[in-house]
Amino acid sequence: MKSIGQAVIAGLGIALPPGAAQEELWEGFFSQHYTGGRRGLAQRIFANSGVRTRQAAVSPLLEDVSGWSTERRMRRYQVEAMPLAKEAVGRALTEAGVAADELGLLAVCSCTGYATPGLDILLARDMGMAPSLQRLFVGHMGCYAALPGLGTAADFVAARGRPALLLCAELTSLHIQPADPRADIQQIVSHALFSDAAAAVVLTPQSRPGGYVVSDVTALTDTTTAGHMTWEVTDLGFRMGLSPQVPDVLSIHVRAMVDDLLTRNGLTVADVDDWAVHPGGPKILDVVQRQLGLPDEAMAASREVLAAYGNCSSPTVLLVLDALRRRPRPPGRVVMLAFGPGLTLYGVLLETT
């Protein structure tokens, strides 16, 4: 085995299905989806979600999937996810200057669709990846999956000295739940926030201008709160459970986790140039900002991604990173943070080459 080296983010590609304004989604679909006493509550939640526009591969303005079986939703997932995945992967490979057959590892994260052969196999076939390619599929980790996926791909690159690719692809639009006049708040919040996207990252062992080295990865899971965030497979798609106590749990743990990540690298919060925080919702971002003592500008990219794209589950934190690196003066040191079922917190330290 080769000696441990570095892993550098050399390319990042984003692919988005058609978008719609939050107000349009409310007026055109969800205002009729929620009736009775829940309609007024749902309208307020949609208005206060922090989301202006979001994307849907299967738009409720065109198709109502809420009564579809899980089987029908999974068949549609494969149809819709592949073009988005190919677009994101192609863009990432082009930016990195890496050919598909040079990849040593393809890791795919998705919690919104399952099939075999899956995206990993079909992408490898259709994009000309090598038969010797190692593949990894990460399922049902939810919103934080990009960061353990990034850590695993980085470990492969550092240990093997070969390029790797991480793809996060989510179609949350396939999991709209049936209309229910007694719908709980958790379902309303889910319907108000979630969106579709694909994001791909190429990592290489070689430094390059503007590239980010994956310097360290950390995680913290509070299993006493495992029921606070759930994603259950039902006969009518996957159903989100989202406790209002999630921000409270984050407020307990996020500062200690970040301090541990930075301290072991000889850094403090003040040494971080910018932050890519998964925008699970406005309250999540408020808690992170308060607990870390960050100025408004440190959260600007995360809030703008939430407003422009919604919560796309696993690709979202990569959308925030992409926004940061496209600034006229990209930050030199970035901390990525994401949260999900477990209740789990993940952090990644990136530093420019």
Residues tagged active-site: 143
Rounded to whole angstroms, how far apart are CA atoms 218 and 345? 8
Is there a cis peptide before residue 25, judged by omega within 30 degrees of 0?
Answer: no
* Residue-wise burial string across 312-345, b where 16 or more C-beta atoms lie within 10 A, e elsewhere: bbbbbbbbbbbbbbeeeeebebbbbbbbbbbbbb
Residue length of the chain: 353
Residue 158, Cβ neighbours under 10 Å: how many?
20
Are 79 and 174 contacting, i.e. CB atoms less than 8 angstroms apart? no
Spatial CA neighbour of 186 closest among 140, 144, 250, 240: 240
AA identity, residue 142: G
Query: Alpha-carbon distance 83 to 323, whole Å?
Result: 23
Task: Measure the CA–CA gap between 203 and 7, rounded to whole angstroms.
Answer: 6
| One-letter amino acid for residue 21 of the chain | A
Give the Cα separation of 352 and 350 in Å (integer). Answer: 7
Dig out the tokens for 125 from the structure: 């076939």
SS3 101: helix
Decide: 195 and 309 in contact? Cβ < 8 Å: yes
Query: β-pairing, 105-110 with 164-171?
Result: parallel
> Which two structure tokens, joined as six digits, stand for 79?
């149809």
